Structure 1
Amino acid sequence: MTREQFVDVARAALGERRSLAAVERIRGGTKKGVYRLVLEDASTAVAYVWNDAENYWPTTPGTDSDDHRDPFSAATGIDLFEAAHRHLTALGIRTPRIHLADRSRTYLPADVVVLEDVTGGSLEALLRADPAAAARPLARLAEALGAMHGHRGPRFGKVALIDAGRASHGESCEQVLLERALTDLAEAASRDTRLRGRDRDLEAAVRGLAATVQPRTEYALIHGELGPDHVLVDAAGEPVIIDIEGLMFFDVEWEHTFLHLRFGEHYPAIAAASAADLDPQRIAFYAMAMHLSLIAGPLRLLDGDFPDRDAMLGIVEHNLAAALAFLPRAAA
């Protein structure tokens, strides 16, 4: 999108007398457009834009990506964003401040939110460049996760759905994830020939792990995809959580499985605040389910015109090896 398209948005969000000097697309979004708005005084804001043209994910025939009764339907849209923002703000968890949220499509042919621009870079970059400097935001992130995971919901599902008094499809988190893992396995095997012939063994492994999980009816508030790239660091050294549309009440083990995968050697620094009572059976099953998801998802994304194809293929390779590692040596 061009500077001219954002002129009215910038004025509505930041003041009638402000002049928009430039617009820069920020790399990384797959479901929404993310743009930096640069004003005449060099101050900045960030715009999120939701419409079909900004979404790289191909439509899956026979599914409704807007049906939020599926906890893992597309985590995209202004409604999910605003509901998640309300929950995090109420808990005192830092996320970029909102200047404007507009679903009227008066300013753009899209839903748009204009936010504070947190310019300190990502926690991921800081961990690479200066691990010592990253220690404080990492510790503060652990505190935020402790607050989130200590906050319980009456049912599992996206927070916007729960706020509306509705219920997700499925009887339990583990049942939803079993069905999803089997679907991901079938999709992945249809796209990657290396899985054909091993899919039955992988299905047996998934079902076996799922069978060890005991019932539970307690659900924590989780981000769902919280890697260090989804945490910014502000000028005060505070972590700022972004890409929040997937916020939901779910098993805390699903969050920790992703945290362990993405934070790697830094995971123990953030695990202490909320990892004491994790169920090892759920962790094992969810790790397998997540690896299958991170094979099928990137392969599905590559059906479209997503530009950073090498990055997606790298994710596929890593998770393919990790999923196959769950098989007995003879089957693998």
Structure 2
Amino acid sequence: MRVPRVWWWQESDAVDTAVDTAVDTAVDMAVDTAVDTAVDTAVDTAVVEDVAGGTLERLLATAPAEEGRAVLRGLAGELRRMGAARADRWGRVGVGVGGGGGVGVGEGAISLVALSASSVPSVPSAERLVLSRALTDLTYAAGRDPRLRSVEEPLRDRLRHLADRVAPRTDYALIHGELGPDHVLVDRTGAPVLIDIEGLMYFDPEWEHVFLRLRFGDDYALLSRSDLDADRMSLYALAMRLSLVAGPLRLLDGDFPDRTAMRAIAEHNLRQALALLP
């Protein structure tokens, strides 16, 4: 199987400095994430590639429609190749037994451990992990917004109902975890290059696709798959909306500077979550 192009990336105007410094120090601040991952996975070399093209987000906004569609089709192919890499346990790539990771958005990320759910009874299935976090997010958000508080029990019942419909699964696919058009660069040949891959993990592809659908909007049609589990998609869609309400609210409980933007994100996703009630 051909390995998808997934590279650590540093902006063009900083590459020379990063390389020069790395010669003297063996690690530059520009490649800290890559080096940390190399250490975690007992790999001796971290690869840095200068990708001169801009983001897919910018290309979709400015380039001819067919040019954007061509890159999206290429991205769909890369996602299929990533999904062909399977594991019998869920968790972050490169994290050993007992290690941690995350599934979620920002402060709402779900804690992961790299253990086999099939062999360790105490480890929940992926869907039960998502359910647990969604219920926590709902409790938190309902404590801060009267609209959610008024329908907290129906939402709680809906989450449990959706989780109960999900059939068991024994293997997991390689996913990015938080892939939007701003996390894809386009190189000189028009090929997509995935960046910000520190959250790379084995998990349900439905989690990836719920996020892709949210971030890509109408363009998601070229990334969609016909073999996804509709029940998982329904559960994960509601769970992700609640994560995108609770995460910003948690930030607003602190001293996060851009409070208007966080309120807007929470408000939009609160309305979307309410719309998912039957």
Q: How does the TM-score come out when normalised to structure 2?
A: 0.75
What is the distance in 2 between the residues matched to 1:318 and 1:286?
A: 17
Contact 1:79 1:160 in 2 (8 A): no
Identity %: 52
Is 1:209–2:192 an aligned residue pair? no
Specify the alignment match of 2:61 in structure 1.
128
Specify the alignment match of 1:12 in structure 2.
21
Specify the alignment match of 1:260 in structure 2.
213
Contact 1:231 1:239 in 2 (8 A): yes
Contact 1:80 1:246 in 2 (8 A): no
Specify the alignment match of 2:140 in structure 1.
187
Per-residue deviation at 1:134?
1.5
Specify the alignment match of 1:157 in structure 2.
91
Name which of 125, 137, 140 aligns with 1:172. Answer: 125
Q: 1:128 to 1:161 in 2, by over 3 A?
A: same
Alignment of 1:1-332 (within 5 A): 11-13=20-22, 15=23, 47=30, 79-80=36-37, 98=46, 115-130=48-63, 131-161=65-95, 166-167=114-115, 170-271=123-224, 275-328=225-278
Q: 1:257 to 1:81 in 2, by over 3 A?
A: farther
| Aligned residue-pair number | 239
Q: Which amino acid aligns with 2:70?
A: R
Contact 1:173 1:250 in 2 (8 A): yes
Contact 1:46 1:116 in 2 (8 A): no
Per-residue deviation at 1:49?
5.6
Between Structure 1 and Structure 2, which shows a larger proportion of helix residues?
A: 2
Per-residue deviation at 1:170?
2.7
**What SS does the aligned partner of 1:246 have?**
coil
**What SS does the aligned partner of 2:95 have?**
helix
Per-residue deviation at 1:178?
0.7
Which range moves more in the overlay, 211-220 or 128-137?
Answer: 128-137
Structure 2: unaligned runs, 5 residues or longer: 1-15, 100-113, 117-121
Per-residue deviation at 1:301?
2.5
**What SS does the aligned partner of 1:47 have?**
helix
Contact 2:53 2:188 in 1 (8 A): yes
- Deviation digits for residues 213-233 of structure 1 (CA, Å, limit 9, x no counterpart): 111112100111111111111
Contact 2:82 2:173 in 1 (8 A): yes
What is the distance in 2 between the residues matched to 1:192 and 1:125?
A: 35
- Deviation digits for residues 141-197 of structure 1 (CA, Å, limit 9, x no counterpart): 111100011110121111122589951773210110110100111121223333222
What is the distance in 2 between the residues matched to 1:47 and 1:311?
A: 28
- Deviation digits for residues 62-110 of structure 1 (CA, Å, limit 9, x no counterpart): xxxxxxxxxxxxxxx96457769x8xxxxxxxxxx956xxxxxxxxxxx
Per-residue deviation at 1:303?
3.2
RMSD: 3.1
**What SS does the aligned partner of 1:237 have?**
coil
Between Structure 1 and Structure 2, which shows a larger proportion of strand residues?
A: 1
Structure 1: unaligned runs, 5 residues or longer: 1-6, 17-44, 51-76, 87-96, 100-114
Q: 1:323 to 1:124 in 2, by over 3 A?
A: same
Q: Which amino acid aligns with 2:165?
A: T
Tell me which stretches of 4 or more aligned residues in structure 1 moved more than 6 Å: 81-84
Contact 2:38 2:46 in 1 (8 A): no
Q: Which amino acid aligns with 2:142?
A: A
What is the distance in 1 between the residues matched to 2:74 and 2:261?
A: 29
What is the distance in 2 between the residues matched to 1:48 and 1:222?
A: 22
Q: Which amino acid aligns with 2:275?
A: A
Contact 1:156 1:219 in 2 (8 A): yes
Q: Which amino acid aligns with 1:209?
A: L
Per-residue deviation at 1:46?
8.6
Q: Which amino acid aligns with 1:262?
A: R
Q: 1:82 to 1:200 in 2, by over 3 A?
A: farther
Q: Which amino acid aligns with 2:168?
A: P
Q: 1:133 to 1:8 in 2, by over 3 A?
A: closer
